[in-house]
Structure 1
Amino acid sequence: MKELISKLKGDKGIWSFVALLALFSFMPVFSASSNLAYLGHGTGNTLGYLVKHFLHICFGFAIIFWVHNVPYHYFRGISKVGLPIVWVLLAYTLIKGTVIAGANASRWIQIPFVGLSFQTSTLAAIILFVFVARYLSKSREEPITFKTSFIQLWIPVFITLMFILPGNFSTTALIFSMVVMLVFIGKYPIKYIFIIIGSGVVMLAFFVLMSKAFPDSKFFNRVGTWQSRIENFTSNKADEDDYQIEKAKIAIASGQIYGLGPGKSVQKNFLPQSSSDFIYAIIVEEYGLIGGLGVLVLYLLLLFRFVVASHKANTLFGKLVVIGLGFPMIFQAMINMAVAVELLPVTGQTLPLISSGGSSIWMTCFGLGIILSVTKKEEEIAQEKLDKEKREEILQKLIDREMEADLEEADFKNVNDNFDAGSYSITDNSNNPMNAVLK
């Protein structure tokens, strides 16, 4: 175990908080999977879901370990090459998206031969954030112009979002807001940011108008879901989403301060998506306000380590990569919690590292691996600097000793020469090294 831990490089705080969140996830997932175990005339055995989640977590940590050993500057080129590949995957998802549990799941594709589903937008978000960080970190001799940046930066961003929007509005909004935050931190001109935000609003409005013109098109069939969720959030109209929120609020209210205890949730049997989208409500029901605040504190501590890691990075690309990949994880967690307490409408965002699901865990771990690669590089630089200082200190001591030895040898040689010549004398100069020798 010590040998394994010694191979974990990078920020130890990030490693610790990620491990704590992953370890904590087993009990809520095991408990909340009971409704899935009974779904479709199941046996009610949740052990299979626990094993499945365990394998997802193990593979996720293997991804972190592998990625964090890759020099992070390699991802500069990977993002440029990977973005067109992501566009192809997103387009394929729109056309061949699968249907899960009778609902429109055009955000998912099936991986051949392994029977796993994969959410392509999660991979697209990571590649896009690294691509934006790469553009902002490029050295420029001339100031940024809107025309050049629109072609090189914003057209790829809008193409990516265009493919994600029809199937997943909440993810599109999250990615767009994080990109805006990233370019603001990267000192992109503010006047251009307002133009881009205005352009995004216009494009979204145009998309909604097109959905009204072609209501039967599969390309626009999610627009009605967005509208109903917003309307239900701002009114008392009841539907399936309102049912989920009500059950989540009952679960949270039942938890009180200390909770009902691990595995003793009642609402997990009635709350859809209790092991993924609404797992935070189950956590509060079983572990109470203390457990809910504990999870929140872990995410905030992880955010703090991201800030520290970004501050320590000695390159602009490293700083922006940590911010671009780390902050969205925390914002996604906050959105998930806010939905559970009805501060936001239902979005379908999972709780990173805690909710069940393969691709969401793996892509979160992929992003964490890149962040740890940045911190690993900074540790290596700091260690090299420390080693260099130690070498210089040792070398200086050796030089000083050598000089002292040479001086003593020269003093004795002068004394011997004077003895041989029979012309030595002790003067009153106490600083004369020959006097010290003669004495």
Structure 2
Amino acid sequence: MVSRVQRGAIAEWFWTIDRVFLVAFLLLIGTGFMLSFSASPPEAARLGLPSFFFVKRHAVFLVPTIATLVGASFLSPRQVRRSALVILAIAIALMVAALFFGVEVKGSRRWVSVLGLSIQPSEFMKPAFIVICAWLFSEHGRHREVPGNLFAIILLAIVAALLVAEPDLGQTLLTSMVWGGMFFLAGISWIWIFGLLGLSAGGLALAYSSFTHVQERVDRFMTGQGDTYQVDTAREAIVRGHWFGTGPGEGVVKRILPDSHTDFVFSVGAEEFGIIFCAVLVLLFAFIVFRGFNHAKRERDDFTRLAVCGLSLQFGLQSMINICVNLRLMPAKGMTLPFISYGGSSMVAVAVTAGFLLALTRRRPESRSRERGFIRSMVPLPAE
């Protein structure tokens, strides 16, 4: 056990980290590994691979995931900004490279091969993009002569253009929504709000009319006609699970559910462990998001407040989109469930998000000193 009187780096980290936050993230990681035993074997069988092929790979991914989560949580706010800048620059460069040299999967070029590993750069772009935009918004708030808002808009345009070119409209929508939420918290005027809402509506309409697969998914969702096999099967798995599920390994619908270990792992969890298990999982995601918002509410530094809100919002919206697709409340979209779905890039990138959140919500000694100094200044000195 680490003593409070110790002053080493690990002791300082242990007593300043939000340990409840950390445990919540580790619970999600453990739940994802547990569900991989249920969701992965059917997919491996369909591909002619050993039953536990994806389970073993998931276990391997846990090592860099946990290492990234813990390592990033040691950073100071300044180090978070610098790390985010480096990650963002590399991610954007790899996203450009993916358009020309990337592996094409289902008509999209989102992956690049680095040292024999397949990486999706856009996953790492998201947390870094949020941190850098939070810094730009905060700098504009402190120094009006700094065009931070303009730079943030330009950065959003660059990122959105690369995502649309892949194409990955789901990530484009997620990134834009988080950016808009941060811009609103930064003190945006009503003129900007209505302007951005109109621009967003126009962008959605343009995407619907320009991309055939987007139009087909929206039409299938609205009318229920066409190829709805995936979402229908996912809903069937959820219904079959009832309240308490069929039991670990006893799921039947999961054997015919495509992408059961990635996009539709939530449905597999519902079939084998029940609706109550899924409700608890949703509450865990909600707890993380609202705890992040609560930290941000108490934060006086604009950069930290905006970054924590943005990272929490991204974590929550990505979770919500995946779950809503499984429940057929949204058109089908290939988006992973954070820390639950299989995928190396996704797991490590979400660990970056979680690590940044833990780093920015740590209790800083200098913050406590400022608070004590402020309290002393408010207490009148005794008369001599």
Q: TM-score, normalised by structure 1?
A: 0.77
Q: Is the 8 A contact 1:13 1:305 kept in 2?
A: no
Q: Is the 8 A contact 1:184 1:190 kept in 2?
A: no
Q: Is the 8 A contact 1:277 1:349 kept in 2?
A: yes
Q: Give the secondary-structure state (helix, strand or coil) at the position aligned to 1:265.
A: coil
Count, aligned residues: 371
Instruction: Determine if the alignment matches structure 1 residue 227 to structure 2 residue 215.
Output: yes
Instruction: Determine if the alignment matches structure 1 residue 254 to structure 2 residue 255.
Output: no
1:254–1:130 Cα change, 3 Å: same
Aligned to 2:139: 138
1:32–1:124 Cα change, 3 Å: same
Aligned to 2:356: 370
Q: Return the offset for 1:126.
A: 1.6
What pairs up with 1:34-45 in 2 under 5 angstroms?
A: 34-43=41-50, 45=51
Residues 25-65 of structure 1 show CA distances to partners (whole Å, capped at 9, x for unaligned) of 1221111111222133334x21x322221221221111011
1: CA distance, partners of 2:62 / 2:369: 33
Aligned to 1:70: 75
2: CA distance, partners of 1:306 / 1:233: 33
Q: Is the 8 A contact 1:34 1:268 kept in 2?
A: no
RMSD: 3.0
Q: Return the offset for 1:200.
A: 4.3
Aligned to 1:418: none
Q: Return the offset for 1:272.
A: 0.6
Q: Give the secondary-structure state (helix, strand or coil) at the position aligned to 1:273.
A: coil
Aligned to 1:160: 159
What pairs up with 1:51-66 in 2 under 5 angstroms?
A: 51-66=56-71
1: CA distance, partners of 2:220 / 2:138: 43
Q: Give the secondary-structure state (helix, strand or coil) at the position aligned to 1:99.
A: strand
Match among 313, 321, 324 for residue 327 of structure 1: 313
2: CA distance, partners of 1:164 / 1:304: 28
Q: Is the 8 A contact 2:263 2:337 kept in 1?
A: yes
2: CA distance, partners of 1:386 / 1:172: 40
Aligned to 1:99: 104
Which region of structure 1 is more displaced relative to structure 2, 274-283 or 262-271?
262-271
Instruction: Determine if the alignment matches structure 1 residue 268 to structure 2 residue 267.
Output: no
Q: Return the offset for 1:324.
A: 0.9
Aligned to 2:114: 111
What pairs up with 1:263-302 in 2 under 5 angstroms?
A: 263-302=249-288
Residues 296-320 of structure 1 show CA distances to partners (whole Å, capped at 9, x for unaligned) of 1111111121122212333110111
1:140–1:334 Cα change, 3 Å: closer
Identity over aligned residues, as a percent?
A: 26
Q: Give the secondary-structure state (helix, strand or coil) at the position aligned to 2:104.
A: strand
Q: Return the offset for 1:130.
A: 1.2
Q: Is the 8 A contact 1:278 1:340 kept in 2?
A: yes
Q: Give the secondary-structure state (helix, strand or coil) at the position aligned to 1:107.
A: strand
Aligned to 2:18: 11
1: CA distance, partners of 2:33 / 2:83: 33
2: CA distance, partners of 1:83 / 1:276: 25
Q: Give the secondary-structure state (helix, strand or coil) at the position aligned to 1:332.
A: helix
What pairs up with 1:80-91 in 2 under 5 angstroms?
A: 80=85, 83-91=88-96
Q: Is the 8 A contact 2:140 2:148 kept in 1?
A: no
2: CA distance, partners of 1:281 / 1:195: 38
Q: Is the 8 A contact 2:108 2:168 kept in 1?
A: no
Q: Quick one: which amino acid aligns to residue 282 of structure 2?
A: L
Q: Is the 8 A contact 2:87 2:124 kept in 1?
A: no
Aligned to 1:218: none
Structure 1 unaligned residues grouped into runs of 5+: 212-222, 390-395, 397-439
Aligned to 2:327: 341
Structure 2 unaligned residues grouped into runs of 5+: 4-8, 375-380
Question: Max radius of gyration: which structure?
Answer: 1
2: CA distance, partners of 1:81 / 1:111: 17
Q: Return the offset for 1:384.
A: 4.6
Q: Is the 8 A contact 1:27 1:263 kept in 2?
A: no
Q: Return the offset for 1:116.
A: 2.1
2: CA distance, partners of 1:351 / 1:141: 36
Aligned to 1:422: none
Residues 261-284 of structure 1 show CA distances to partners (whole Å, capped at 9, x for unaligned) of 112111221001101100000111
Aligned to 2:188: 188
Q: Quick one: which amino acid aligns to residue 122 of structure 1?
A: E
1:206–1:276 Cα change, 3 Å: closer
2: CA distance, partners of 1:234 / 1:86: 35
Q: Return the offset for 1:157.
A: 0.8
Q: Return the offset for 1:155.
A: 1.6
2: CA distance, partners of 1:380 / 1:264: 51
2: CA distance, partners of 1:306 / 1:160: 25
Q: Return the offset for 1:75.
A: 3.4
